[in-house]
Amino acid sequence: MIKPSIGERIFDVVNVTIMVILIILTLYPMLYILFSSVSEGNRLISFNGVLLWPQGFSLDGYKAVLSNPVILQGFKNTLFVLVVGLIINMTLTALGAYFLSREGVMLQKPIMFFIVFTMFFSGGLVPFFLIVKAYGLLDSLWSLILPTAVSTFNLIIMRTYFLSIPKEMEESAVLDGAGHFTILFRIFIPLSMPVVAVLILYYGVGHWNSWFNAMIFLRDQNLFPIQLVVRNIILENDNANMIGTTTLIQSRDVQETLKYAAIIVTTAPILLLYPFLQKYFVKGVMVGALKG
């Protein structure tokens, strides 16, 4: 066994120290929100300093969040956008990537150029709003789905992955009489599950965390996604309509923990989903980005 040199030991110590500091800096904001969400409101308001544990224990913030109809409606809207949006996202991305990965397709290079062009240049927010308005999508959940149906970055990742699939498999399927849809959905997609899982995560997190488009395109509060509802709670401090069954005497204490509980409730689903896709994540990104 080779004994590490003094320089290697110093490097290991410095490296571990830096990584521990980064872990602390990353985890503390999350722990702060978690501890605040289960603290007693009056004690949390009067507390000053670094929060290392809950100030008392109370679930009033979570009760207010889970019993409030505005927040529950926000979850329903977000789930609709998430499920329908993912279906549209993955279908169009797969079709586009398959088309752009075929050889001998007419005007393929010019089409690819214009697609990549959109990654670096856009018309801006005002033309975007006018287009959505012209198609009659204002004040509709479809305004959160259709304008962002395909991500150029994700399209390029899937196209690159498709290019790495051996051509012999496609040629064999063609000899057996398979058409393009059969080749795509029975050969390419099953062989591309790592990159498919990664794109589901990308699109899903994008839909779940989206609030800016909703703020621009939606006026009806019954259509607000959960992230926009949480934003209104945190930034506009609009707790009078958010606390629901809580009395006015209790609201002063509850409103301090309510915003932290809302953040935890809206973040937890994504955090719980990630471990199931983690095994595909690194492989899908690396292969999709480097091969081709």
Give the DSSP per-residue string, 176-204.
TT--HHHHIIIIIHHHTHHHHHHHHHHHH
Is the pLDDT at 19 greater than 80? The verdict is yes
Token pair recorded at residue 69: 């109809």
pLDDT at 194: 83
CA angle 95/196/263 to nearest 5° reads 120
> What is the maximal distance between C-alpha atoms in the chain?
76
Length of the chain (residues): 292
* Cβ neighbours around 231 below 10 Å, total: 17
User: What average pLDDT does the segment 77-81 reach?
Assistant: 94
Cβ within 8 Å of residue 261, ≥6 positions away: 37, 61, 62, 64, 65
pLDDT one-digit tens code per residue, 169-211: 888 888 888 888 898 888 899 888 888 888 988 899 899 988 8
Cβ contact 68:243 at 8 Å:
yes
Does the pLDDT of residue 244 top 50, yes or no?
no
The DSSP call for residue 222 is: G
Q: Among residues 82, 287, 282, 100, which one has the least CA distance to residue 184?
A: 100
Per-residue confidence band for 284, with pLDDT thresholds at 50, 70 and 90: low
For residue range 210-243, list pLDDT tens digits in order: 889 999 999 988 999 988 988 887 776 544 445 4
Q: Of 80-94, 123-137, 187-201, 228-242, which has the strongest mean pLDDT? A: 80-94
Considering the entire predicted model, what is its pTM? 0.78
Q: What's 2's DSSP letter? A: P
Looking at the predicted structure, is the pLDDT value of residue 158 above 50? yes
